[in-house]
Amino acid sequence: MRGIPHGDRDLPRVALTFDDGPSADTPAVLDALARHGAQGTFFVLGAVVSGRAEVLRRMRAEGHEIANHGYAHDRLAHRPLKTLREARRTSALVQRAAGVRPRHFRAPHGDASVATIAAARLAGLTTVAWDVDPRDWEAPGAQAIAERVLIAVRAGSIVDLHDGRGHRQGTVAALDLLVPVLRDRGLQPVTLRMLLGR
């Protein structure tokens, strides 16, 4: 896994990021973030943007960041031309749907090589990884997801969650458990742009 793994450890901020959407569960994720006044970053797949422009516009309107997760969730390490094509295609789809151009990229599966990162940079994107992985894609339940985050998270952390490619009700419920605790610890959930000072 390559890319920026975390932000400044001296600033009391964390980034909650969501991969693989938008999906039918994304509005519930947005509702949960809204309940707690928290911002997130959504790494969207180009292949599922069609027909979900309203959700992307809501993300933007509510202060979240829309980022690029490639087009079809294929592994992209050592495939720079495919990375460049997918990154550009997805950014164009997001621009048309939400009127904003992504600035950050995360390779599907976190499978990025030096060539992948360079190709994303050619598409105008900075590659971001994570340092907290609660493996919510395993659907272990809200309590386990929240506990896994809270055990590992610290100032500057980038948390890798998911809002697509499976049922994400556990992730939604986990947000209600973990965001208040983050706040109690003095950690503010912000977008990647805010976390990384971009």
pTM listed for this prediction: 0.95
Q: Does the annotation count 73 as an active-site position? A: no
Domains delineated in the chain: 13-196 (3.20.20.370)
Q: Does the annotation count 19 as an active-site position? A: yes
Q: What is the mean pLDDT of residues 177-189?
A: 97
Pairing type for strands 126-127 and 188-190 reads unpaired
Of the candidates 20, 69, 162, 163, the residue annotated as catalytic is 162
Going from the C-alpha of 8 to that of each of 40, 183, 189, the distances in angstroms are 17, 18, 14
pLDDT in tens, 23-73: 999 999 999 999 999 999 999 999 999 889 999 999 999 999 999 999 988
Q: Which residues contact 28 (CB under 8 A, 6 or more apart)?
A: 168, 169, 172
The whole-number pLDDT of residue 78 equals 85
The whole-number pLDDT of residue 56 equals 97
Of the candidates 19, 131, 136, 163, the residue annotated as catalytic is 19
